[in-house]
Amino acid sequence: MNNNQNGKPTTGRLGVTMPISEAFPTPEDEESTERLIETLWSEGLFESEEESMRREVVLGKLAEMVKEFVRRISLRRNHPESIANEAGGKIFTFGSYRLGVHGSGSDIDTLCVVPKHVQREDFFEEMLDMLRRRQEVTELTAVPDAFTPVIKMKFSDIPIDFTFARLGLSSIPDSLDLSDDSLLRNLDDRCIRSVNGSRVTDEILRLVPNIPAFRTALRCVKLWAHRRAIYSNMMGFLGGVAWAMLVARVCQLYPNACAATIISRFFSILHQWRWPQPVLLKPIEEGPLQVRVWNPKLYPADKAHKMPIITPAYPSMCSTHNVTDSTKAVILSELKDAAELVNKIMVERIPWANLFTKDDFFSRYRHYLQVIASSDSEERHLRWSGFVESRIRHLVTKLERVDNLVLAHPYIKGFSKVVQYKTEAEKDDAAHGKFHTAPVDQADSSTDSVESKTMYTSIYYIGLCIPAREAGSTGHRKMDLYRPKDEFTEMVKSWDKFDAQSMGVVVQHIRSCELPSELQDDVDHKKNKRAKSGKKSAAVDARPPNKKRRGSANQNGVTSDAASAASADTSGTPSVSSPAVKNEVSAVATPVAPQV
């Protein structure tokens, strides 16, 4: 039996296998779910009714603007007024808003669908101009050259990511349903990606047996992934769609379970998953178009994916192609720790809030790599830092090939700072992450008459995990960072929009004691909390050691559930072992060459 949107039992089966268990929740499970929901409310994950209504008003205004936009372009293309008035145009939402797991301040992923005579250039000119003229629209930015072209803005203070798709239809009726595969015919790759954002979201909802339980569980997982700093597709971790598909797959395996049970099974199954065996919500389908569908038997690039999570809408794609060996190891380590913690939450009834503690990235390692992007204007820096950030994962893969380096762990976001400087020395210091904050009365009087200039910087971090020195070994060990540093610098500077006069990038090694003061303050705060709680503070990796889960595998079903789920989702890809995340416990630091 499965459940519908209201959680009522229905018949049928969803997914590529039979469910592991169709048991209904016990009173203890229901009580754990209630405690979870209370915790999610206390974390501010639910928006107010007022904000919800404001979102609906904004979407209504956008829908009207799209119809007017299509009408204007139709008249410009010399269509009769009667036909222009019926040309239509429609918006579709996707992502967290469509899934029903958005919170206060979350953006709305919105797709603008138009008929065939409206071009993408029209969207980034006429529609952009229409938005610019609206008083409710602020922070308007167009990114037409992105992998998926987008207009970003705030509409009545609601963040909107506005994408575009042009279908091969003469008009777009209000009744249009994007689930029809034939609508993808003759679309370019960018339009297919845009349309599939909405199609994948709708298909996930269709394939979930109990939508209320799914939404609560997904809110929990998203908050946990954010707090543990493993929520970022760009940096090589998992993005929102991938996390949603993982939760949906566990819901299929336990169709009648409540949210607390889904969360417990989620972590216990996925930290033991037999990667690179893919996670599938339904069998991969061949469609009517000559487009590439994910197939590791046919495409070597698909076979190389570390943690394939496959989208359910045609054409099926891997949503996790950015995952590297290092980020995979970090994700699996976090999943395992969470499985042990949730077991305690369920059995010992400790607070759910313990699951959502902040990451310990800046106290975990002795060595870090800094990547500093700098520019001389805010607009230029937005493009330059975004490009550098999008290439950080390539630096990670280069570092993974360095001897004596176990793991290269990227942090999921950068830290921006605007700096005022007067001298070339101050400019060079800022470009290398050294920011002077001397009081005005202590400033160098020789530069009083010099006009200040502005530099915009964004700093990204990669933690370097070095193995402990083997017993009895002598002499220095070295890590040669010259090659990955130079190759990365050359790669980003080869960007066709790079300007050496106004943009810069520096890659350099620092020790944990050289981290910026604000990050060290955060580390010191965590150490103080651990000291008050009586816990030992490890030199680098402060996470608790792994402990045996309460109960045997037969009692809680963890091992058998993971094996059943993973063995059923077959794809023909070979199983490979995952690199373990090792604690950096070397008493004598490994020399790092160079100080780049």
Residue 448 in contact with residue 441, Cβ under 8 Å? no
Tokens at residue 570, please?
């077959």
Residue 364 in contact with residue 584, Cβ under 8 Å? yes
Q: Is 231 an active-site residue?
A: yes
Could you tell me which residues come within 8 angstroms of residue 86 by beta carbon, excluding any fewer than 6 positions away? 171
Alpha helix stretches (DSSP H) within 8-161: 27-42, 49-76, 81-85, 95-99, 120-122, 128-132
Residue 244 in contact with residue 286, Cβ under 8 Å? no
Could you tell me which residues come within 8 angstroms of residue 336 by beta carbon, excluding any fewer than 6 positions away? 267, 271, 546
Q: Is 202 an active-site residue?
A: no
Residue with tokens 């700096």: 419
32, 74, 96, 171: the catalytic one is: 96
Residue 418's closest CA among 459, 387, 384, 370? 459
Cα-based angle 164, 170, 76 (whole degrees, multiple of 5): 75
DSSP β-ladder status, 592-593 and 479-480: parallel
DSSP β-ladder status, 453-465 and 407-410: antiparallel
- Alpha-carbon separation of residue 143 from 73, 375, 535 (angstroms): 21, 18, 48
What percentage of the chain's residues is helix, strand, coil (to nearest 5)?
40, 15, 40
Cα-based angle 458, 463, 468 (whole degrees, multiple of 5): 160
109, 325, 359, 561: the catalytic one is: 109
- Alpha-carbon separation of residue 587 from 33, 75, 275, 567 (angstroms): 44, 74, 33, 42
Q: Is 521 an active-site residue?
A: no
Measured CA to CA, the distance from residue 459 to residue 431 in angstroms comes to 10
122, 161, 541, 561: the catalytic one is: 161
Tokens at residue 254, please?
């336990």
Measured CA to CA, the distance from residue 166 to residue 114 in angstroms comes to 5
Tokens at residue 137, please?
């629209």
222, 328, 485, 526: the catalytic one is: 222
67, 194, 198, 231: the catalytic one is: 231
Q: Is 161 an active-site residue?
A: yes
Could you tell me which residues come within 8 angstroms of residue 288 by beta carbon, excluding any fewer than 6 positions away? 181, 182, 185
Q: Is 109 an active-site residue?
A: yes
The DSSP code sequence of 103-127 is -TT--EEEEEEE-TT--HHHIIIII
- Alpha-carbon separation of residue 422 from 270, 438, 446, 504 (angstroms): 53, 13, 10, 18
21, 107, 564, 578: the catalytic one is: 107
Residue with tokens 């759910």: 352
Q: Is 429 an active-site residue?
A: no
Assign 218 to helix, strand or coil.
Answer: helix
Measured CA to CA, the distance from residue 19 to residue 392 in angstroms comes to 39
Active site residues: 96, 107, 109, 161, 222, 231
